[in-house]
Amino acid sequence: MKQLITPLLALMLLSGCKVQNQNNQKTNPMTSKKNKEVVIRFNKEFFELGNTSITKELLADSFINHTAPANTSKDASVMIQFITGFHKGFSDISVQINEVLAEGDKVSLRKTITATHTGDFMGKKASGKKLELNVIEIDVLKDGKITDHWRKNDFAQILQGL
């Protein structure tokens, strides 16, 4: 029995080391840094500048927007429609990245979007009001592209105030 226990303990220890090494690879600082850069770039170019073509470069073909409105497509098309309309209805758009955290393949971002309501948007006539939108989002990346996206913001409240 003693002869069987020693090899089993060795196997268990080696298995634990393998799992630890896999976890270390997930939190590779260079991968986390590159993932942060992709998410920040996407926010600046897509949300702030309205560059919808950046979706082809930074979103995976399998991209899923997990917080898309009910009964709409979960791909990037709804986001593209929203940003196109947003840039028609608002000017002076700025995305301030307040905090960005990365671990493994996930990036979490806290941002503030400011803009001025200078055109028609979602049935609301231009009001000239300043908008400040607070957003928290989580993105998953694979091979340098965003595959999954979740966000929480206070947009519904802000829209009512326009």
Q: Specify the CATH architecture of the domain 28-160.
A: Roll (3.10)
C-beta separation of 114 from 93 below 8 A: yes
Q: What is the pTM of this model?
A: 0.79
Q: Give residue 64's pLDDT.
A: 97
- Condensed to tens digits (0 to 9), the pLDDT of residues 89-143 reads 999 999 999 999 999 999 999 999 999 999 999 999 999 999 999 999 999 999 9
* 106-117 and 130-142 beta bridge pairing: antiparallel
Q: Taking 50 as the threshold, does the pLDDT of residue 13 lie above it? A: no
Q: Which residue has the higher pLDDT, 25 or 43?
A: 43
C-beta separation of 116 from 131 below 8 A: yes
- Condensed to tens digits (0 to 9), the pLDDT of residues 16-41 reads 433 334 444 456 777 899 999 999 99
Tokens 């899923």 label which residue?
Answer: 64
Q: Give residue 101's pLDDT.
A: 96
Q: Taking 80 as the threshold, does the pLDDT of residue 11 lie above it? A: no
Reported as a pLDDT band with limits 50, 70 and 90, residue 79 is very high
Q: Give residue 3's pLDDT.
A: 52
Classified as helix, coil or strand, 78 is helix
Task: Report the distance separating Cα 105 and Cα 126, nearest Å.
Answer: 40
